[in-house]
Amino acid sequence: MAYKNEKASKFAYQTIIKDKSVQEFLKQCYIPEIDELKKINFKKISKDLEDLENVYENEINKILVIDGGYQVIDISKNRFEIMKIAFYSCGIMSFDYNLLLDLNEQQTVNPNEINNIKTLYKQNFTLPVQLISLKGYSFIDSIRKSIYDIFAQKSLFYNNGEIDKDSIFIDTIKWLAFEEYLEGKGTLNVNCPVCDTEIKFEKKNNDYKNKNDVLRCKKCYENGNNTIVYITDIFGFHLKIEDNNSETIVSLLLNIFEVIMLFTSYRVIIEKKDIKAMAKFLFIKDGSLAIYDFHHKDTFVSLKIIPFLSFLFKKSIEDKKNYLSIVGIEKSGYFYSHLQKIKNMLKDKTVLIPDNDYIQKNITFENKIMGKYTNFGIKMFYHHSKGFSYVMQFPFPTLLKNKPMYEYEKFLKKPNIKYFINLKNIIEILTETKSSKYEGGIIPIILVNKQVSVSRNPGYKMLKEFTKEELFKD
């Protein structure tokens, strides 16, 4: 690699082009062609929207949209000491569905009318990215403590600017971990970040909110090391930090925060003993329904989120109501790129749920089950008409018994559209709120994004100046 300002060679490419090993390698490479996709009988593997049936009556009158954004700010004083910090903005916006439809039908929209149909709950937080640490902590421990504090010090709602004790995010992680929606007997094993010993988190008293989220590693303590283990270490962010740099986890933290916001809404409703009210809400997450942590098997998704979704599915059947009105909308990635290739091959108003064979052969080109330990939803394509197609993800509808991962894996390999509750209804709501300005855009997502996205200009510049003033005070 050249030094800074050192000119690169103008002739080095010649030896690369003439190298026989390079030539042979390129001959072995393969780019999937559109012509091969044209051979697929999409009519056979897709479903017309009009042929789908809603299982239960539609009760949705509120749309809640979750989205977030961030900027990584470089405050380096010189090129030898790179210092970075990330600023996040994340929100959940509630819309009155019927008022939103009325607004969408109007030719012109008064900004005041938009304010009347939405309510925004917004969170801001910060994460050290490179070289910056909390006072008294190593870089890795700074990351671990910062992540714990983000969830422990933020809540979904606020009362006169103060944190709302009924909607604190760390309590949602514990609520899922201890399975409070059932009998509260669940446990969660988290590995010590120093010695890798399993630390069991469990409810110590009748109130799961009372502590139960920070433990000392006994093995480390016996060896003279006072290692604190946070329940948020289950996400394994510390496993991906190298050379005082956490840039690999910046976007993943935002995704997890959005997921916990989603399930905090569920927790608040259930704890108010009003579970049937959930049938009135449609949750839209901008992005995938997944948590990308760094464990290979026993992930928070497989251990805790999938069983909770199974509980909701079971209650839906018992009450004959849809409690699983959750959809993730993806605007980038493998599946989105694939949709751009095939959307003109799909009939208008059709749904395509690719099975694992299709995904491996045409999308990921990998011999493994897509999202086995990370996804809590099934990806599917919907093509409405020219200019409006999207990748959506719905929670998988499986009743789990003794072997939850087996059932989940089975459904991932061969999903069946008939088991999704009120899929048709949710897709119709999405199309009713589509944007005519942005291709594939959905108005509620656009409105939230405008509130939480952090601009490059002037946002980046102002955050940079603000950070320098705070950190470099005399």
Percentage above 90 pLDDT, the chain: 55
208 pLDDT higher than 90: no
Model confidence band, residue 220 (pLDDT cutoffs 50, 70, 90)? very high
Distance CA 421, CA 287 (A): 21
Q: Which residue pairs from 3-8 have beta carbons closer than 8 angstroms and sit at least 24 positions apart in sequence? A: 4/79
More confident residue, 335 or 471: 335
**CB burial readout 28-58, b (16+ within 10 A) else e:** eeeeeeeeeeeeeebeeebbebeebeebbeb
Predicted confidence (pLDDT) at residue 399 exceeds the cutoff of 70: no
Note the Cα 42 to chain centre separation in Å: 29
The per-residue pLDDT for range 155-184, each reduced to its tens digit, is: 998 887 788 899 999 999 999 999 999 988
Report, as an integer, the average pLDDT of 399-420. Answer: 72
Mean pLDDT of the chain, nearest integer: 87
Confidence of residue 108 (pLDDT cuts 50, 70, 90): very low
Question: Residue ranges of the alpha helices (H) in 105-184?
Answer: 111-117, 139-152, 169-177
pLDDT over 90 (residue 430): yes
Q: Is the pLDDT of residue 1 over 70?
A: no
Q: Tell me what pLDDT residue 8 has.
A: 53
pLDDT tier, 366 (very low <50, low <70, confident <90, very high otherwise): confident
pLDDT at position 156 is 93
User: For the packed helices 250-271 and 306-319, what is the interaxial angle rounded to 10 degrees?
Assistant: 30
Residue 378, pLDDT score: 93
pLDDT, position 116: 59
E strand or H helix at 448, and its extent? helix 443-452
Quote helix, strand, coil % in the chain, to nearest 5: 40, 20, 35
Using one digit for the tens of pLDDT, what is the confidence trace for 45-61? 999 999 999 989 999 99
Rounded mean pLDDT, 65-78: 92
**pLDDT at residue 37 in the model:** 87
Higher pLDDT, 79 or 235: 235
- Region at 213 (left for phi over 0; alpha for psi -120 to 50; beta for the rest): alpha
Does position 31 have pLDDT exceeding 80, yes or no?
A: no
- Select the more confidently predicted residue: 244 or 357: 357
Cis peptide before 458 (omega within 30 of 0): yes
User: What integer pLDDT is reported at residue 469 of this predicted model?
Assistant: 86
Has this prediction a pTM greater than 0.75? Answer: yes
Residue that has been written with the tokens 């059947």 in this structure: 317
Q: What is the average pLDDT across 196-205?
A: 90
DSSP state, residue 302: I
pLDDT beyond 80 at 202? yes
- The pLDDT tens digits for 243-284 are 888 888 999 999 999 999 999 999 999 999 888 999 999 999
With 80 as the cut, is the pLDDT of residue 30 above it?
A: no
Q: Which residue has the higher pLDDT, 111 or 391?
A: 391
Q: Buried b / exposed e across 295-310, counting CB within 10 Å, b at 16+?
A: beeebbbbbbbbbbbb
User: Comparing C-alpha atoms, which of 157, 147, 152 is closest to residue 126?
Assistant: 147
